[in-house]
Amino acid sequence: MNRFPREFADILSRRGRRLLEGGEPAVAGALGRTQFVALSGAVDAAKARAARGLLEAALAPHLVALERGIPPESITGQTRNHQERLIKTVRVRTAYLERRGSRAWQAAERIGLVAMTGSDTWHRFAEMLAGRALDRRSGRQVLCYGPGDYAGPHTDHHPEDPRARDGYVDMHLTLAGPGVAHQWLVYAEGGHFRHVLDVNTAGGITAYRLPFWHYTTPLVAKPGRERTAHRWVVLGTFRYAAA
Ligand SMILES: [Fe+2]
């Protein structure tokens, strides 16, 4: 495989294609009932491996560091007990894929990632999970977590965006390499951080009905595998279709 398939459906396993057609009632429309869904076995394992290889070869040179640490003032400026405030902290490398002319975009286009994440079945899979119509135009981004990379607690709420302030949907295709020992997603339900999910998957699909509180723990590599321990995430952001 020297390119991503043109259609997302063609990277899916038999189960993935059944899901796409709405064949699993527990999953179809799940984001209408819950804020988070994780699917395993929906992506063909060999194609997931090949896809990670494509990202390593073509996109790794175009990643930029995204780093926002804990502000020291969050402690030094705190004047009252139990009133701490934390911004969204993060350390990860990313390719935003927003500007067509950018080198990251061109690299993503060469390996077919732009086409696949613009395909009918990429959109339809997200709609199947959302259980409602989504805007045909979606945003795309690639993330690459290496050892120590993480995202602190945050909501992904965008109250300044009229099309997102009432919620939106993110869909992630996770392609973790064999050097990763662990990385976890922790997310809230009912006012507490209640759920812990292993996101060290090669071909896992996760979907979020945002906003809600969640964080991703620092990636830990297997001993001696630090250099190649990467968890890649291909991320699609979908607004709801206008009524
Ligand atoms: Fe997030």
Q: What is the pLDDT along the chain (243 residues), one digit of tens a residue?
A: 899 999 999 999 999 999 999 999 999 999 999 999 999 999 999 999 999 999 999 999 999 999 999 999 999 999 999 999 999 999 999 999 999 989 999 999 999 999 999 999 999 999 999 999 999 999 999 999 999 999 999 999 999 999 999 999 999 999 999 999 999 999 999 999 999 999 999 999 999 999 999 999 999 999 999 999 999 999 999 999 987
Pairing of strands 90-95, 64-68: antiparallel
The alpha carbon of 54 and the centre of ligand 1 are apart by a number of angstroms equal to 24
As a whole number of angstroms, the distance between CA 230 and CA 175 comes to 8
Q: Where are the beta strands (DSSP E) in 16-69?
A: 36-39, 64-68
> Shortest CA distance to 230 belongs to which of 161, 175, 166, 190?
175
As a whole number of angstroms, the distance between CA 214 and CA 157 comes to 11
The DSSP 8-state label assigned to residue 47 in this structure reads H
Residues with CB under 5 A from ligand 1 (ion): 156
The alpha carbon of 1 and the centre of ligand 1 are apart by a number of angstroms equal to 30
Give the global pTM: 0.96
**Centroid of chain to Cα 87:** 20
The alpha carbon of 235 and the centre of ligand 1 are apart by a number of angstroms equal to 10
The alpha carbon of 183 and the centre of ligand 1 are apart by a number of angstroms equal to 14
